[in-house]
Amino acid sequence: MFSSCAGRSLLRQDKISDAVAEGDFLTAISLIRENDNLYGRNNEFLYNMDIGVLFHYAGKFDSSNTYLMRAADVYDELFARSVTNEAAAILVNDNIRPYRSKPYEIVHLHMFAALNFMAMGRVDDALVETRRMQLHFNEWERRDRSGNRYTNDGMFHLISSIIYEQAGEIDNSLISLFKSVQAYQNGPVPLPSVVRDYAYTKLVTYDRAADTARLNITAPEGNSVWELNPRGSEIVVVSYAGRGPVLRETVWAGTYVKDGLLVLRYTDPNGNTEVITTHAPALPQSEYEKANQGQPTRSGTTFRIKVALPMVSTSTSRVAHFTADPGTGNAKRSVVVSDIDLLARDYHQDNWNATLSRTVVRVILRTIAAERTKAQMRTDNPVLNLLLNLGTDVVTDQMERADVRNCFLLPQTIHLTRIPVDTGTHSVTVKAYDRNGNVIRSKNIDDITVRRGERRFVFNHSFY
Amino acid sequence: MRGLKSVVCVILPVFLLGCATKVSRVDTASTIDLSGRWNDTDSRLVAEEMIEDCLNQRWLYSWEARNQRPTVIVGNIVNRSHEHINTQTFTRNIERALLNSGRVNFVATREDREQLRDERRDQAEHSSVQTMKQMGEETGADLMLMGTINTIVDQEGRRAVIYYQVNMELVEIESNMKVWIGEKQIKKYVERANTRF
**Spatial distance between the Cα atoms of A91 and A80, rounded to a whole number of angstroms:** 20
Please name the residue of chain B whose CA is at the shortest distance from the CA of residue A81.
B195
Q: What is the pLDDT of residue B93?
A: 82
Chain A residues in contact with B148 (beta carbon < 8 A): none
Neighbours of A273 (CB within 10 A): 11
**Spatial distance between the Cα atoms of A56 and A416, rounded to a whole number of angstroms:** 16
C-alpha dihedral (A90, A92, A93, A95), degrees to nearest 10: -120
Q: What is the pLDDT of residue A225?
A: 67
Q: Looking at CA atoms only, how far is residue B87 from chain A in angstroms?
A: 11
DSSP B122: H
**Spatial distance between the Cα atoms of A22 and A422, rounded to a whole number of angstroms:** 34
Q: What is the pLDDT of residue A257?
A: 76
Does residue A297 or residue A308 have the better pLDDT? A308
Q: What is the pLDDT of residue A439?
A: 95
Q: Which of A214, A212, A175 is nearest to A196 (CA)?
A: A212
For chain B, say whether A82 makes contact (Cβ under 8 Å). yes
Q: Which of A125, A139, A143 sits opposite B84 (nearest CB)?
A: A125
Q: What is the pLDDT of residue B2?
A: 52
Confidence band (pLDDT; 50, 70, 90) for A1?
very low
**Spatial distance between the Cα atoms of A333 and A416, rounded to a whole number of angstroms:** 9
Which element (helix H / strand E) includes A432?
A: strand A424-433
Tell which A residues from 41 to 70 touch B, by Cβ distance under 8 Å: 69
For chain A, say whether B88 makes contact (Cβ under 8 Å). no
Mean per-residue pLDDT for A209-234?
84
Cα Rg of chain B, angstroms:
25
Paired sense of beta strands A273-279 and A261-267, if any? antiparallel
Q: What is the mean pLDDT of chain A?
A: 88
Chain A residues in contact with B162 (beta carbon < 8 A): none
Confidence band (pLDDT; 50, 70, 90) for B19?
low
- HEC letters along A62-109: HHHHHHHHHHHHHHHHCCCEEHHHHHHHHHCCHHHCCCCCCHHHHHHH
Q: Which of B80, B155, B194 sits opposite A80 (nearest CB)?
A: B194
DSSP string, B51-96: HHHHHTSHHHHHHHHTT---EEEEEEEEEESSS---HHHHHHHHHH
Please name the residue of chain B whose CA is at the shortest distance from the CA of residue A124.
B79
pLDDT at B139 over 80: yes
pLDDT at A164 over 90: yes
Say yes or no for a CB contact (<8 Å) between A80 and B78.
no
pLDDT at B7 over 60: no
Q: Which of A80, A124, A139 sits opposite B196 (nearest CB)?
A: A80
Say yes or no for a CB contact (<8 Å) between A81 and B194.
yes
Q: Which residues pair with A311 in a beta bridge?
A: A248
Residues above pLDDT 70, as percent of chain A: 96
Q: Which of A305, A319, A313 is nearest to A345 (CA)?
A: A313
Distance of CA A289 to the CA centre of its chain: 58
**Spatial distance between the Cα atoms of A78 and A219, rounded to a whole number of angstroms:** 45
Say yes or no for a CB contact (<8 Å) between B78 and A124.
yes
Q: Which of B79, B153, B192 sits opposite A80 (nearest CB)?
A: B192
**Spatial distance between the Cα atoms of A46 and A57, rounded to a whole number of angstroms:** 16
Say yes or no for a CB contact (<8 Å) between B82 and A128.
yes
Residue of A62, A81, A117, A128 to mutate for B, most B C-beta atoms under 10 A: A128
Q: Which of A416, A412, A420, A409 is nearest to A430 (CA)?
A: A416
Does residue B15 or residue A322 have the better pLDDT? A322
Q: A243-259, pLDDT tens digit by residue?
A: 999 998 888 888 877 77
ipTM for the predicted complex comes to 0.73
Q: From edge to edge, which strands make up the β-sheet containing A439-450?
A: A332-333, A321-325, A424-433, A439-450
Q: What is the mean pLDDT of chain B?
A: 84
Q: What is the pLDDT of residue A185?
A: 95
Q: A407-437, pLDDT tens digit by residue?
A: 999 999 999 999 999 999 999 999 999 999 9
Q: Looking at CA atoms only, how far is residue A318 from chain B in angstroms?
A: 39
- HEC letters along A152-177: CCHHHHHHHHHHHHHCCCHHHHHHHH
Q: Looking at CA atoms only, how far is residue B79 from chain A in angstroms?
A: 6
Please name the residue of chain B whose CA is at the shortest distance from the CA of residue A114.
B84
Q: Which of A102, A185, A83, A85 is nearest to A140 (CA)?
A: A102
**Spatial distance between the Cα atoms of B156 and B144, rounded to a whole number of angstroms:** 40
Q: Looking at CA atoms only, how far is residue A244 from chain B in angstroms?
A: 29
Q: A257-302, pLDDT tens digit by residue?
A: 777 777 878 887 777 888 888 877 776 777 777 777 777 676 667 7
Q: Looking at CA atoms only, how far is residue A167 from chain B in angstroms?
A: 11
How many A×B Cβ pairs under 8 Å?
45
Say yes or no for a CB contact (<8 Å) between B155 and A135.
yes
Under DSSP, is residue A261 helix (H, G, I), strand (E, B) or coil? Answer: strand
**Spatial distance between the Cα atoms of A78 and A28, rounded to a whole number of angstroms:** 27
Confidence band (pLDDT; 50, 70, 90) for B1?
very low
Sequence length of chain B is 197
Q: Which of A185, A187, A230 is nearest to A211 (CA)?
A: A185
Q: What is the pLDDT of residue A110?
A: 97
Q: A176-204, pLDDT tens digit by residue?
A: 999 999 999 998 999 999 999 999 999 99
* Under 8 Å between Cβ of B51 and B72: no
Q: Looking at CA atoms only, how far is residue A129 from chain B in angstroms?
A: 7
Q: Which of A82, A128, A138 sits opposite B84 (nearest CB)?
A: A128
Does residue B57 or residue A262 have the better pLDDT? B57
Please name the residue of chain A whose CA is at the shortest distance from the CA of residue B77.
A124
For chain B, say whether A390 makes contact (Cβ under 8 Å). no
Q: What is the pLDDT of residue A278?
A: 80
Q: What is the pLDDT of residue A14?
A: 84
- Say if pTM beats, i.e. exceeds, 0.90: no
Q: What is the pLDDT of residue B177?
A: 94
Q: How many helices (H) and strands (E) does chain B have?
A: 5, 6
Say yes or no for a CB contact (<8 Å) between B196 and A82.
yes
Q: What is the pLDDT of residue A224?
A: 65
Say yes or no for a CB contact (<8 Å) between B84 and A69.
yes
Confidence band (pLDDT; 50, 70, 90) for B180?
very high
Confidence band (pLDDT; 50, 70, 90) for B4?
very low
Distance of CA A120 to the CA centre of its chain: 26
**Spatial distance between the Cα atoms of A256 and B1, rounded to a whole number of angstroms:** 55
Q: What is the pLDDT of residue B20?
A: 60
Q: A368-415, pLDDT tens digit by residue?
A: 887 788 777 777 777 787 788 778 777 777 788 888 999 999 999 999
Chain B residues in contact with A128 (beta carbon < 8 A): 79, 81-84
Burial of residue A401 (CB within 10 Å: 0-12, 13-18, 19+) is buried
For chain B, say whether A123 makes contact (Cβ under 8 Å). no
Neighbours of A284 (CB within 10 A): 10
Q: Looking at CA atoms only, how far is residue B168 from chain A in angstroms?
A: 17
Please name the residue of chain A whose CA is at the shortest distance from the CA of residue B162.
A135
> Where do the H-state alpha helices sit in A270-408?
285-292, 340-350, 352-377, 382-399
CA atoms in the 13 A half-sphere facing the CB of A79: 15
Residues above pLDDT 90, as percent of chain A: 55
Residues above pLDDT 90, as percent of chain B: 38
* Under 8 Å between Cβ of B147 and B77: yes
Q: What is the pLDDT of residue A77?
A: 87
**Spatial distance between the Cα atoms of A325 and A463, rounded to a whole number of angstroms:** 21
Q: Which of B81, B153, B192 sits opposite A79 (nearest CB)?
A: B192
* Under 8 Å between Cβ of B168 and B50: yes
Q: What is the pLDDT of residue B12?
A: 52
pLDDT at A216 over 70: yes
For chain A, say whether B193 makes contact (Cβ under 8 Å). yes
Please name the residue of chain B whose CA is at the shortest distance from the CA of residue A137.
B155
pLDDT at A230 over 70: no
For chain B, say whether A144 makes contact (Cβ under 8 Å). no
**Spatial distance between the Cα atoms of A128 and B85, rounded to a whole number of angstroms:** 9
pLDDT at B24 over 70: yes
Q: What is the pLDDT of residue A446?
A: 94
Confidence band (pLDDT; 50, 70, 90) for A2?
very low
Distance of CA B74 to the CA centre of its chain: 12
Q: How far is CA A63 from CA A278, A325, A431, B154, in A?
A: 58, 29, 27, 31
**Spatial distance between the Cα atoms of A410 and A244, rounded to a whole number of angstroms:** 5
Confidence band (pLDDT; 50, 70, 90) for A54?
very high
Q: What is the pLDDT of residue A3?
A: 46
Confidence band (pLDDT; 50, 70, 90) for B109?
confident
